[in-house]
A and B are shown apart, each in its own frame.
Chain A
Amino acid sequence: DTAVSQTPKYLVTQMGNDKSIKCEQNLGHDTMYWYKQDSKKFLKIMFSYNNKELIINETVPNRFSPKSPDKAHLNLHINSLELGDSAVYFCASSPRALDYEQYFGPGTRLTVT
Chain B
Amino acid sequence: QKEVEQDPGPLSVPEGAIVSLNCTYSNSAFQYFMWYRQYSRKGPELLMYTYSSGNKEDGRFTAQVDKSSKYISLFIRDSQPSDSATYLCAMRTSGSRLTFGEGTQLTVNP
Contact = CB atoms under 8 A, between A and B. Distances in A.
B95 A105 contact: no
Contacts of A105: 43
A1 B61 CA distance: 28
Interface in A50-109: 56, 90, 92, 98, 100-107
Interface residues on B, range: 20 to 34
B42 interface: yes
A106 B43 contact: yes
Contacts, number: 53
A101 B98 contact: no
A42 B103 contact: yes
Nearest to B9: A41
Interface of B: 8, 32, 34, 38, 41-46, 49, 86, 88, 90, 92, 95-98, 100, 102-103, 105
Given A4-B43, A98-B96, 9 more contacts: A40-B8, A41-B38, A43-B88, A45-B97, A48-B97, A90-B44, A92-B43, A100-B32, A107-B41
